[in-house]
Amino acid sequence: MIGVPTAILLGIVLLLLLLLLAARGSTVARELGSAPDLPMLDDEAGLDACPPEFVARIFSSDDWEFVSGTRSRQLQGLFRRERKLVALVWVDQTSKAIRRIMREHTEATRQSHDLQFATETKLALQYAELMLICGVLFLAIQAAGPQRVRGLALYAGTLSQRLTQAQQNFKTVTTGREFHGAGSS
């Protein structure tokens, strides 16, 4: 049996380790995924988010089954390498997007006067969960390949959309209040 302080300490160490892995994986994805291949996609602020059906496609095993059917080791190796990189680019894009959302949210909360503790805690927890999942995904994709982590990737995609939606709702409400405030004064 381990005590509560030890468990908390272990949890913090694990969290830091995963964040470190996420940062490392993010660098790997940036180096491999964008530098030589996609030079025109550096500025991601105005780019489309990855639609959910593509998340399912990237992590699907259908293409792998098709490539396996060729019985060519060379093609199978090429597929594993290529799909791993695509998956890492997706995780990198997702983690960047959620960091941007949280940055925007932090800026918006600074100007807001009636913050709700429960909503803010929920958002912070969702953010932490997503960052943790991204860290796990970076590690798992590199170790086991994208097809094995399909469920987790789909979950991360859904959670990321939920976080984006929550931030948009917050923005709408805040803007609405400011508008009414300005109108009544």
Partner 1 sequence: MTVTVKLVPVQAAYDDLLQRSLSKISCDLARLIYLASTRDYNTGTYHHDGLAARFSPDVAGKALEIAHRQIFYQLSAYSLEQLVEQLQIYLDCSHESPADVLRIWQKLEPYRVAIPVEVSPAVARLFLSNIRLALAIWRFRQEQAPKHP
Contacts of 150 (CB under 8 A, 6+ apart): 56, 59, 60, 61
User: Does residue 105 bind partner 1 (CB under 8 A)?
Assistant: no
- Given a contact cutoff of 8 angstroms between Cβ atoms, the answer to whether 150 and 61 are in contact is yes
CB of 98 to partner 1, least distance (A): 14
Q: Which is nearer to partner 1, 67 or 123 (CB)?
A: 67
Cα 131 to chain center, whole Å? 6
Stretch that binds partner 1, among 20-28, 69-77, 112-120, 135-143 (CB under 8 A): 69-77
Binder to partner 1 among 15, 21, 28, 49 (CB under 8 A)?
49
User: Does residue 93 bind partner 1 (CB under 8 A)?
Assistant: yes
Buried b (16+ CB within 10 A) or exposed e, 144-159: ebbbebbeebeebbeb
Binder to partner 1 among 18, 22, 25, 33 (CB under 8 A)?
33
Q: Which is nearer to partner 1, 66 or 179 (CB)?
A: 66
Binder to partner 1 among 18, 22, 25, 58 (CB under 8 A)?
58
Q: Compute the distance between CA of residue 91 and CA of residue 153 in angstroms, rounded to an integer.
A: 8
Q: Give me the amino acid identity at 153.
A: A
User: Does residue 48 bind partner 1 (CB under 8 A)?
Assistant: yes
Q: How many CB atoms lie within 10 A of CB 57?
A: 13
138 exposure class (CB count in 10 Å sphere: 0-12, 13-18, 19+) = buried
CB of 90 to partner 1, least distance (A): 4
- Number of residues in contact with partner 1 under rule CB under 8 A: 34
Contact set with partner 1 (CB under 8 A): 33-34, 37-38, 40-41, 44, 46-51, 53-54, 57-58, 62-63, 66-67, 70, 72, 74-75, 78-79, 82-83, 85-86, 89-90, 93
